[in-house]
Structure 1
């Protein structure tokens, strides 16, 4: 399981998380804009952003996060509170921008991005190399008995159960170019992007959502 508190930045692994109709707590709560505009900065245009990291707050992959704002880490490892007034200038200089702003990510409802292990394994086999799951920025990686890529055909509104919690399928995830970059934004794999577009109809993973408050954890059973 993963949480991505600031869009385009690297995220954190989690052992458990609270999920409700707004999505996973602490997930994709902020995004980066050019100051004074509605122009968003994202990994496709600024792969250097993936050298930065965000947590809700720092967890080291073991304990549940608490608090109401992310912690942001420079590529050097220096930590910042996301609402520190000096952070935008430091980040802007590193990204080669004049000025940036971190703003709340606007969305009318939340969703959970689920990737299936069988599909990731088959994709790696097709490409002839390991494809890192973090390229797809999922919230959950599931192991199930479904065939590879079967999730692309799941009917919207159908039920998936994670642990003791019911979720409904919203839709497949249509991919941008971001998975073609390695998780640190250092090298682009254009062949992977072309393969996803041509062979997978530009879809990988599915969005699910719940109306009720739920807690999910690594090791939960999946059924549907």
Structure 2
């Protein structure tokens, strides 16, 4: 088995960024989901679930931690990493509330114009990260702005199996994984508990419950009229928490990943 693809999502619910190699810190891939859009008035997070055109919002992470945003019919904007203590804004992400740095008025004006209502861009530094979903993993596991856990893994064979059941090829980016594994059986990842990729070990902590976001075409931002692939997943991958596809991971330690690295099942 090998690591066949790497994806980073610098902005929560923005476009994915394919990578050949990347570093890891305590919050997963360097720069992954460290930025987020929030409603200016309420501080509540925004995603493609409610704003489908966010699928057309490109966010590239810069080596200094900053961000470059671009979108159709919008001039790109470079946004510096905000001061970790200045201009803190209260935000809500699912059940979590936290105070994180605001990216400033220029960034706010750009994203407000794109979204079509007053919106702010915020960033989460390592020392303001959330803890992962209670009941899974370790008490000191942390996550940036991802829904519940730092990393998501999907087996390529699992996607091919789902595509065959839906009756058409499906894009891996519909499911927004960080890591794609090649060479395993379909849904083999469901039974893994610990794996190693290169020199880094990962704990497999929880299956990923899928939502309406999987029905949004990552290229066009349009929802499928037949509710696929979610409708098919609900027929044969349903559990108490939802239709499962992919596994959430936590990395134990830092390091680097590179496409092509061998994958070893430890447990």
TM bracket, shorter-chain basis = 0.7 to 0.9
Q: Report the CA distance between 1:185 and its aligned residue.
A: 4.9
Secondary structure class of the residue paired with 2:245: strand
Aligned alpha-carbon RMSD (Å): 1.7
Q: Is the 8 A contact 2:107 2:120 kept in 1?
A: no
* 1:138-192 deviation digits (Å, cap 9, x = unpaired): 11111023x21232233xxx21011122111111111121111011353212132
Q: Is the 8 A contact 1:53 1:75 kept in 2?
A: no
Secondary structure class of the residue paired with 2:105: coil
Q: Report the CA distance between 1:200 and its aligned residue.
A: 1.4
Q: Report the CA distance between 1:96 and its aligned residue.
A: 2.1
Secondary structure class of the residue paired with 2:170: coil
Kindly tell me the number of residue pairs found equivalent between the two proteins: 211
Partner of 1:107: 130
Partner of 2:96: none
Q: Report the CA distance between 1:77 and its aligned residue.
A: 6.2
Partner of 1:144: 183
1:73 pairs with one of 59, 70, 75: 70
- How do residues 87-166 of structure 1 correspond to structure 2 at under 5 angstroms? 87-97=107-117, 99-105=118-124, 106-108=129-131, 109-110=142-143, 111-145=150-184, 147-154=185-192, 158-166=193-201
* 1:104-149 deviation digits (Å, cap 9, x = unpaired): 255221321111100011111111111000111111111023x212
1:221 aligns with 2:262: yes
Q: 2-side partners of 1:53 and 1:174: how far apart?
A: 25
1:2 pairs with one of 1, 7, 14: 7
2:248 pairs with one of 207, 216, 219: 207
Q: Report the CA distance between 1:22 and its aligned residue.
A: 1.4
Q: Which ranges of structure 1 fall in alignment gaps of 5 or more residues?
A: 58-65
Q: Which ranges of structure 2 fall in alignment gaps of 5 or more residues?
A: 1-5, 80-102, 132-141, 144-149
Structure 1-normalised TM-score?
A: 0.87
